[in-house]
Structure 1
Amino acid sequence: MDGSLTRRRLCSLGAAAALVGASGCIGGGNGNGDSDDDEPGPVSAAPVGDDWSWDGSVPVDEVVQHHDPSCGCCSRYAAYLEDNGFDVHVETTDELGAVKTDLSVPAEARSCHTVEFGDYLVEGHVPLQAIEALFAAEPAVAGIAIPGMPRHAPGMGPPDDESLAVYAFEDAESDSGELSEFVAV
């Protein structure tokens, strides 16, 4: 592949950008998992691999990740967890919004996948550094989230100079329903 931009490549890139935009992967989308889009998610231009290396620990070895069967970035996030030593059980569903409702994930916290991480929920492309901080602090919350789909998060792309805000949330049935900033990574 010579890297030149032919008309065919330009059309392919335009079609891919349209699919990504339609799936809510650009501009935040609604992030609630209620997508009828059967197209795969966006493909990161750079491999995630060592860019999001982590050498910490959490008291959990096995996790369950819920996502739409056609979500490419969700599969990359599961691979990120596996690459860091976690046994990831993936449960795909066409009714992701209903799963999130059953797990009591507040609408404001929702992203493209939900991970059951021990007694906590991890919503979206949350770096393991934030998950480690969650288990170290043991706050009385249902979980942590990076709402939407930031481009510089695990499973989406390599880190950059902009920090990621990670929010804590109570379950959707609580009176608060608000997100509070937990940590920036």
Structure 2
Amino acid sequence: MKRFAISLSLLAFASASALAEEVINHKSPYCGCCSEWAKHMQQSGFTVKEVPHQDMAPIKAKLGVPSDLVSCHSAEINGYVFEGHVPAQDIKTFLASPPKGAKGLAVPGMPMGSPGMDYGDNRQAYSVMMFDENGHHQVFKHYSAM
């Protein structure tokens, strides 16, 4: 019984430390919503390191973000890319079981009501898109307007 309790404790510790892996958030030094998204991630249990860039275009190109999915900031977690205001819960779901061939998730543009783009109880409809190395993408999750 004691071994079981120790094993369970180690499993819980390993799960918590896996979640706390560092998020590298590439952003403009002048963008406040990017920092608000970082706060959302921290409140959801992630550790976030913000890296300011004067020009985000080379970062997005290096990370392989499809041009039709760009937003204001680009984050790296465990070798995957998360573009824009992707909800932390969707990132957790993705990281728990990454779909084969997926490179990451993106929320194109800056939809009102997405994490970091909060505006009271208002939310535009938006989709979280999953994309691969070739730029192909599909809906990962859709959020309706409120």
Q: CA deviation at 1:160?
A: 4.6
Q: Work out which of the residue numbers 14, 25, 47 in structure 2 matches 1:87.
A: 47
Listed as ranges, the gaps of 5+ residues in structure 2 are 1-15
Residue 164 (structure 1) aligns with: 126
1:49-104 alpha-carbon deviations (Å, 9 max, x no partner): xxxxxxxx793321100011100100111111122222111100012100111111
* Structure 1: 4+ residue segments shifted above 6 A: none
Cα distance, 1:161–1:69 mapped onto 2, change above 3 Å: closer
Q: Work out which of the residue numbers 84, 101, 105 in structure 2 matches 1:124.
A: 84
| Superposed counterparts of 1:134-153, under 5 Å | 134-139=94-99, 140-153=101-114
Q: CA deviation at 1:178?
A: 2.6
> Aligned-pair RMSD on alpha carbons?
2.0
Residue 97 (structure 1) aligns with: 57
Identity %: 35
| Residue pair 1:120, 1:142 contacting (<8 A) in 2 also | yes
Residue 68 (structure 1) aligns with: 28
2:139 counterpart of 1:181: yes
Counterpart Cα distance in 2 of 1:179 and 1:59: 27
TM-score (norm 2): 0.76
Write 1 or 2 for the structure with the bigger share of helix: 2
Q: Secondary structure at the match of 1:142?
A: strand
Code of the aligned partner of 1:147: P
Cα distance, 1:154–1:58 mapped onto 2, change above 3 Å: farther
Whose relative contact order is higher, 1 or 2, with alpha carbons under 8 Å and at least 6 apart? 1
| Residue pair 1:144, 1:168 contacting (<8 A) in 2 also | yes
TM-score (norm 1): 0.61
Write 1 or 2 for the structure with the bigger share of strand: 2
Listed as ranges, the gaps of 5+ residues in structure 1 are 1-56
1:95-143 alpha-carbon deviations (Å, 9 max, x no partner): 2100111111111111000110212111100111211221233112110
